Amino acid sequence: MKRLLSLIALCCALHLSAQEALWWKTPTTSPEINENRTVTFRLKAPYAKKVEVTGDFLPEGNAEMRKVQPDLWEYTTPFPLRADLYSYAFIMDGVRITDPSNVYVTRDVVTMNNIFIVDGPRSKVYQELDVPHGTVSKIWYPCDQLQRMRRLTVYTPAGYSENGTTRYPVLYLLHGMGGDEEAWITLGRVAQIMDNLIAMGKAKPMIVVMPNGNMDQVAAPGYGPDGNIVPTIELPRTCDGTYEQSFPNLVRYIDRTYRTIPRKNSRAIAGLSMGGFHTMMISKEYPDLFDYVGLFSASVKKNVDGVYSPVYERFHDKLRTQFAKRPALYWIAIGKEDFLYPANVEFCELLDRNRHRHEFLETEGGHIWKNWRFYLKEFAQKIFK
Amino acid sequence: MKRLLSLIALCCALHLSAQEALWWKTPTTSPEINENRTVTFRLKAPYAKKVEVTGDFLPEGNAEMRKVQPDLWEYTTPFPLRADLYSYAFIMDGVRITDPSNVYVTRDVVTMNNIFIVDGPRSKVYQELDVPHGTVSKIWYPCDQLQRMRRLTVYTPAGYSENGTTRYPVLYLLHGMGGDEEAWITLGRVAQIMDNLIAMGKAKPMIVVMPNGNMDQVAAPGYGPDGNIVPTIELPRTCDGTYEQSFPNLVRYIDRTYRTIPRKNSRAIAGLSMGGFHTMMISKEYPDLFDYVGLFSASVKKNVDGVYSPVYERFHDKLRTQFAKRPALYWIAIGKEDFLYPANVEFCELLDRNRHRHEFLETEGGHIWKNWRFYLKEFAQKIFK
């Protein structure tokens, strides 16, 4: 052991450019979750003139950090944080950076954030607990619409490999604009939420399928043959009807490849923001596919300006057909501060006027992952029951 | 489409703290791979006093960036880069940060780096090409040694799900100190390397199993029930013999769970640095398990100071037994600048003296991932043939 340690010491001491840095522990502790549930952030930055922390727990968005030592900046939240999973980053002299002391980093479109969890009953479901864990797979499937292979993420529940004959219901879970097949599994904590709900008996064991809704992308950045190209401001062919039309084939592929229960009453679809738009469109376009429908902070438009697709035609007729077939659940959730809130209230009124049975959940907060994780947790407990 | 774009515009313009930032494109292009294969790095940092770039392509380790506009720093390599996959980061006024313009980030123990690829014949194998892709799964398996579930990464080759009866050979691939079950699949580009080699017919279709060699860790940081705790300077029980002893059970689990060819001639084991140490120990401890053995920049010690384990007893006897059974391949690779180079040369001399047949590959460079990816590429072409 000593010899191993001395090798590390040697390696670090020499700082040879030919050796890669080996660090087991970052020199600063950040974030630190204090006993009273306030949280302290620290950054070692001797020459910085201004350091801020930005995060989804700050009412104003940003807060200035204070120089507490010649080389150390610090900020402690003036209030205890409610148990939840939070994300944050630092802004050092105008440059947005992740916290070098925290290895938990997630990508949100092209922005990197750190995450941390404040422990408590409300955040238990987001944590890795000592419960049976499902398997997360990145698979490539043949997309008939694009005539090529595309990547998607699949969660299979604990016991799937062992119980060789049991068949499972399937939840199709769609990301928002700028997201991809990585979004729900990283930012959305799907594996942790499903593992925990299933272990507690609050959700049925189910398969969760997370496809990529950008038809110009075969996979998330870095996993498609697009070399070093980063996503562009152009919408990557998300709302021209093609994605919606590709769904029956995707469902067939999943039913062929996994031990699913290949019936409407064992299929759910849900999506956030743009994925809510897709969910609304797909579920009405193919009214015999999904019995459970979840719109999370959805963009509830009836068509897309300037785009022609048969998918966006005869919206009201198709909605009427869908509801005539009495879906087991049509669930709409949105935060009161979400910029899509008025449109969702209006959509609910439309459903009410037409006596289309649905459930509506109004929460605090805006168009943020904190809400989408919570909506998934709620929705997952309502389906396949 | 216009309406969607206007929603984004609205969302960005309002900068509401309740909405998450939506960016499809970072404002600066970095890195830019120029036509002559030099590479330009850029950072927008109006108030920084000094910005450096650090990377595995710089002979000196670091290079100073130059202020080319009031808010823009830039550095162009003075030489073209050989086709390869490279990693880098910036150091802004003493703080190590990732490039905010590059979403390709990997974690190396507790350090985050960006990556980029310079295209060319030598780097093709690291790229996502339009070839059949295998599946990458994170599974949890019962570890008898620890009496609990642990996480590991499994690559199954393209066609595994479709060809329901074909059985495959298995490569067990071990990480180095500070690594975990994420290291080989992210930093090591295992999925890309295997997909490409298999598609070119240069490697046999095989399953690759990447376990976690830290017996104090059930999973990589963030995936075990260790909350926000970062790895510590203590070695997480990597070299007390337990990991080595857990291997026969792991192999049995894999043979039970996947369609493997459960025979010595269809099993390989390889590891980098500390993983090379484990590979050497495991392959001699269980001489009937693995026919192909790969030591990549291995720590080739005969025991661990101050540690007693039956695994570390009678090294030479066990090595003799292993070689008496004529392994199909015992392959050692190391860079001339590696701090473990002298020890590896000495180990080869020991093998020579005892007429233990092995192959030795000496390369440029040191103890770095660039070499380990290359060694995997070479080794994978030599096994199961």
Task: Identify which of A298, A307, A366, A310 has the alpha carbon closest to the alpha carbon of residue A338.
Answer: A366
Q: Do the Cβ atoms of A18 and B338 come within 8 Å?
A: yes
pLDDT at B229: 47
Q: Do the Cβ atoms of B104 and A49 come within 8 Å?
A: no
B9–A contact, CB cutoff 8 A: no
B221–A contact, CB cutoff 8 A: yes
Q: How far apart are CA B275 and CA B267, in angstroms?
A: 16
Percent of chain B with pLDDT over 90: 75
Instruction: Find chain B residues with C-beta within 8 A of A96's C-beta.
Output: 100
**Average pLDDT for chain A:** 89
CA A106, A108, A111, A117 torsion-angle sign? negative
Judged by average pLDDT, the poorest of B30-34, B213-217, B227-231, B260-264 is B227-231
Q: How far apart are CA A338 and CA A71, in angstroms?
A: 39
pLDDT at A104: 87
Tokens linked to A239: 């709302």
Q: Do the Cβ atoms of A111 and B137 come within 8 Å?
A: no
pLDDT at B4: 42
At residue B234 the predicted structure's pLDDT band, cuts being 50, 70 and 90, is: low
pLDDT at A228: 44
Task: Identify which of B331, B146, B177, B139 has the alpha carbon closest to the alpha carbon of residue B245.
Answer: B146
What Å distances lie between residue A312 and A109, A297, A309, A318, CA to CA?
A: 27, 20, 6, 10
From the list A2, A60, A338, which residue is nearest B306 (CB)? Answer: A2
Instruction: Find chain A residues with C-beta within 8 A of B24's C-beta.
Output: 109-110, 178, 231-235
Q: A115-127 pLDDT, tens per residue?
A: 999 999 999 999 9
Higher pLDDT, A102 or B279: B279
pTM, two decimal places: 0.90
Higher pLDDT, B240 or A16: B240
Answer yes or no: are the C-beta atoms of B44 and B27 closer than 8 Å: yes
- B269, with CB counted inside 10 A (0-12, 13-18, 19+), is buried
Answer yes or no: are the C-beta atoms of B152 and B173 closer than 8 Å: no
pLDDT at A103: 84
Judged by average pLDDT, the poorest of A215-224, A334-343, B197-206, B251-260 is A215-224
Judged by average pLDDT, the poorest of A20-34, A132-146, B88-102 is A20-34
Q: What is the mean pLDDT of residues B318-342?
A: 97
From the list A4, A127, A133, which residue is nearest B140 (CB)? Answer: A133
Q: What is the mean pLDDT of residues A344-351?
A: 97
From the list B56, B97, B228, which residue is nearest A117 (CB)? Answer: B228
Task: Identify which of A361, A329, A364 has the alpha carbon closest to the alpha carbon of residue A348.
Answer: A361
Three-class SS of chain A: CHHHHHHHHHHHHHCCCCCCCCCCCCCCCCCEECCCCCEEEEEECCCCCCEEEEECCCCCCEEECEEEECCEEEEECCCCCCCEEEEEEEEECCEEECCCCCCCEEEECCEEEEEEEECCCCCHHHCCCCCCCCEEEEEEEEECCCCEEEEEEEEECCCCCCCCCCCECEEEEECCCCCCCCHHHHCCCHHHHHHHHHHCCCCCCCEEEECCCCCCCCCCCCCCCCCCCCCCCCCCCCCCCHHHHCHHHHHHHHHHHCCECCCHHHEEEEEECHHHHHHHHHHHHCCCCCCEEEEECCCCCCCCCCCCCHHHCCHHHHHHHHHHCCCCEEEEEEECCCCCHHHHHHHHHHHHHCCCCCEEEEECCCCCHHHHHHHHHHHHCCCCC
Residues 332-361 of B with CB under 8 A from A: 335, 337-340
Place of tokens 């510590």: B232
Tokens linked to A177: 């604009």
Q: What is the mean pLDDT of residues B217-223?
A: 82
Q: Is the pLDDT of residue B200 over 90?
A: yes
At residue B110 the predicted structure's pLDDT band, cuts being 50, 70 and 90, is: confident
- What's the gap in Å between the CA of A305 and the closest CA on chain B? 5
Q: B129-178 pLDDT, tens per residue?
A: 889 999 999 999 999 888 888 999 999 999 998 878 999 999 999 999 88
- Contacts (Cβ under 8 Å, ≥6 apart) of A345: none
Task: Identify which of A371, A197, A339 has the alpha carbon closest to the alpha carbon of residue A272.
Answer: A371
pLDDT at B8: 42
Percent of chain A with pLDDT over 90: 75
Tokens linked to A104: 């938990």
Residue of A nearest to B104 (CA): A222
Percent of chain A with pLDDT over 70: 90
What Å distances lie between residue B334 and B247, B283, B299, B376, CA to CA?
A: 25, 19, 10, 12
Q: Do the Cβ atoms of B49 and A45 come within 8 Å?
A: no
Residue of A nearest to B157 (CA): A139
Rg, chain A, Cα only: 23
**Average pLDDT for chain B:** 89
Tokens linked to B236: 């997480």
Tokens linked to B353: 């003296």
B19–A contact, CB cutoff 8 A: yes
Higher pLDDT, B357 or A22: B357
Residue B378 backbone phi and psi in degrees, to 5: -70, -50
Q: Is the pLDDT of residue A16 over 50?
A: no
Cβ count within 10 A of residue B385: 9
Q: Do the Cβ atoms of B366 and A19 come within 8 Å?
A: yes
Q: How far apart are CA A333 and CA A176, in angstroms?
A: 15
pLDDT at A25: 55
From the list B59, B98, B304, which residue is nearest A4 (CB)? Answer: B304
Three-class SS of B315-352: HHHHHHHHHHCCCCEEEEEEECCCCCHHHHHHHHHHHH
What is the DSSP annotation of B161-204? TTSTT--B-EEEEE--TT--TTHHHHTT-HHHHHHHHHHTTSS-
At residue A93 the predicted structure's pLDDT band, cuts being 50, 70 and 90, is: very high
At residue B60 the predicted structure's pLDDT band, cuts being 50, 70 and 90, is: confident
A146–B contact, CB cutoff 8 A: no
Cβ count within 10 A of residue B202: 12
pLDDT at A303: 82
Say if residue B262 is preceded by a cis peptide, omega within 30 of 0: no
Q: Do the Cβ atoms of A224 and B10 come within 8 Å?
A: no
What is the residue type of B144?
D
- What's the gap in Å between the CA of B57 and the closest CA on chain A? 10
Q: Is the pLDDT of residue B91 over 60?
A: yes
Residues 179-208 of B with CB under 8 A from A: none
Q: What is the mean pLDDT of residues B4-32?
A: 50
- What's the gap in Å between the CA of B326 and the closest CA on chain A? 30
Residues 318-337 of B with CB under 8 A from A: 335, 337
From the list B8, B93, B116, which residue is nearest A47 (CB)? Answer: B93
Task: Identify which of B278, B132, B98 has the alpha carbon closest to the alpha carbon of residue A95.
Answer: B98
At residue A109 the predicted structure's pLDDT band, cuts being 50, 70 and 90, is: confident
Q: Do the Cβ atoms of A4 and B61 come within 8 Å?
A: no
Tokens linked to B72: 């823009």
Q: Is the pLDDT of residue A176 over 50?
A: yes
What is the residue type of A340?
L
Q: What is the mean pLDDT of residues B342-361?
A: 97
* DSSP character at residue B49: S
- What's the gap in Å between the CA of A196 and the closest CA on chain B? 12
Complex ipTM, two decimals? 0.87
Answer yes or no: are the C-beta atoms of A73 and A43 closer than 8 Å: yes
- What's the gap in Å between the CA of B352 and the closest CA on chain A? 25
Task: Identify which of A127, A130, A58 has the alpha carbon closest to the alpha carbon of residue A91.
Answer: A58
Q: Do the Cβ atoms of B92 and A92 come within 8 Å?
A: yes
pLDDT at B235: 59
Question: Helix (H, G, I), strand (E, B), or coil: what is residue B66?
Answer: strand
Residues 56-85 of B with CB under 8 A from A: 56, 58-61
- Contacts (Cβ under 8 Å, ≥6 apart) of B252: none
First to last CA, chain A: 54
Higher pLDDT, A212 or A9: A212
The b/e string for A161-192 (b: 16+ C-beta within 10 A; e otherwise) is eeeeeeebbbbbbbbbbbbbbbbbbbbbbbbb
- What's the gap in Å between the CA of B238 and the closest CA on chain A? 9
Q: What angle do CA A148, A154, A160 make, to 5 degrees?
A: 130
Q: How far apart are CA B226 and CA B222, in angstroms?
A: 7
pLDDT at B218: 86
Tokens linked to A162: 């062992």
Q: Do the Cβ atoms of B20 and A56 come within 8 Å?
A: yes
Q: How far apart are CA B65 and CA B72, in angstroms?
A: 10
From the list B11, B47, B94, which residue is nearest A46 (CB)? Answer: B94
Residue of A nearest to B152 (CA): A135
From the list B49, B112, B367, which residue is nearest A105 (CB)? Answer: B112
A7–B contact, CB cutoff 8 A: yes
Q: A29-70 pLDDT, tens per residue?
A: 899 999 999 999 999 999 999 999 999 999 878 999 999 999
- What's the gap in Å between the CA of A2 and the closest CA on chain B? 6
Residues 276-305 of B with CB under 8 A from A: 299, 301, 304-305
